[in-house]
Copies of this chain bind each other. A is one copy, B any other.
Amino acid sequence: MIELRGAPAAESLLQQARERLQNLPFVPHLHVVRLGEDPASVSYVRLKDRKAREIGLKSTVHVLPEESSQADLLVLIEHLNQDQDAHGILVQLPLPRHIDAQTVIETINPLKDVDGFHPENVGKLWLGQEALLPCTPAGILALCDHHQIQLSGKQVVIVGRSNIVGKPLAALMLSRDATVTIAHSRTLNLSEVTRRADVLVAAVGRPGTITPEMVKPGAVVLDVGVNRLEGKLVGDVAPEVQEVAGALTPVPGGIGPMTVANLMLNTVLAAERQR
């Protein structure tokens, strides 16, 4: 079985970002907004901030108290929308319950929406127009490309229909001429569906969702899950799948690095388009 490590593929995305950076007459500036001190959010935001600086971007993290009002958050976003020195705006999710994430996302200028979550970017993705792509799905595609996994004409089965991974990934896989199936919690005979996959994507958020008998021997398995289990980080794919799959992404170290790398590329692309 081939282990599909993210690091080398992420590095080639970052290299692409660095090269484009050199052709810009200014340094793009990423602004990440975090509310409160949720440990996972703190750690993700730190990672993004560090990686941005590492490749030569400017990066600012705005930390608001957890009890900030939605109005306060929107004022900050409007300010960043206007700010010529803010090329990428990312509001770290999840947000506290008293804030409506959708309203927040829709307030971000779509040209600065480096998460690719704004309805206009989602619409353009499905229409095949130039858009800022959501980082995890775009990163998955880059990983496939790096490891020369053919997608055209392949049966791709995506388990999970989230707005962040499952659905946008379906659009991208379709744009690569894959035959795409989206399965989910209401899918009957899930293992029958997953066993058809040449490329199986697990994006559910539950450890052990994909077991060996659900995988066609030799299939490529992409594990998007990031779950904490007994203090360890595990994916959605049971470890025994290694014995059936032809190729598999590890967790951690598979899709994870792709997401962050694609955020860097998005920030550069956003800056280019704002010139």
Contact = CB atoms under 8 A, between A and B. Distances in A.
How many copies of the polypeptide does the oligomer hold?
2
B174 A179 contact: no
Tell me whether chain A's interface is mostly helix, strand or loop, or mixed: mixed
Contacts of A180: 181-182
Nearest to A119: B123
B184 A177 contact: yes
A153 interface: yes
Contacts of A124: 119, 122-123
Contacts of A259: none
Contacts of A128: 163
Report, as a range, how many residues of chain A touch the other chain: 20 to 34
A186 interface: yes
A188 interface: yes
B167 A193 contact: no
A102 interface: yes
A261 to B, nearest CB: 24
Given A121-B123, A161-B174, A180-B181, 7 more contacts: A119-B127, A122-B123, A122-B124, A128-B163, A153-B188, A179-B181, A179-B184
